[in-house]
Amino acid sequence: MKLISWNVNGLRACIQKGFYEFLENAAPDCICLQETKMQPGQADVQTPGYHQYWNSAERKGYSGTAIFTRHEPLSVVFEMDDARHVGEGRVITAEYPDFYLVTAYSPNAQEGLARLPYRMEWEDAFRAWLTALDAKKPVVVCGDLNVAHQEVDLKNPKPNRGNAGFSDEERAKMTELLAAGFTDTFRFLHPDATGAYSWWSYRYNARKNNAGWRIDYFLVSDRLRGHVKTAAILNDVYGSDHCPVLLELEL
State yes or no: is 51 an active-site residue. no
Residue 89 near residue 63, CB atoms below 8 Å: yes
Give me the amino acid identity at 235: N
State yes or no: is 105 an active-site residue. yes
Residue 146 among known ligand-binding residues: yes
Residue partners of 107: CB distance under 8 A and separation at least 6: 88, 90, 115, 118, 119, 122, 146
- Crossing angle of helices 168-179 and 116-134, rounded to 10°: 10
The closest of 215, 114, 218 to 171, measured between CA atoms, is 215
Catalytic-labelled residue, pool 105, 153, 184, 197: 105
State yes or no: is 242 an active-site residue. yes
Catalytic-labelled residue, pool 53, 85, 153, 242: 242
Cα angle vertex 241, ends 185, 51, to 5°? Answer: 65
C-alpha to C-alpha distance for 106 and 141, rounded to whole angstroms: 12
Question: Which value, to the nearest 10 degrees, does the dihedral of the CA atoms of residues 124, 11, 240, 159 take?
Answer: -30
Residue 44 among known ligand-binding residues: no
Catalytic-labelled residue, pool 85, 96, 144, 197: 144
Give the count of beta carbons closer than 10 Å to the beta carbon of residue 160: 16
Paired sense of beta strands 212-213 and 199-200, if any: antiparallel
Which residues, in sequence order, are bridge partners of residue 76?
94
Give me the amino acid identity at 59: R
Residue 7 among known ligand-binding residues: yes
Residue 216 among known ligand-binding residues: no
Which residues are annotated as catalytic?
105, 144, 242
Which residues are annotated binding-site positions for Mg(2+)?
A: 7, 35, 144, 146, 241-242
Which residues are annotated binding-site positions?
A: 7, 35, 144, 146, 241-242
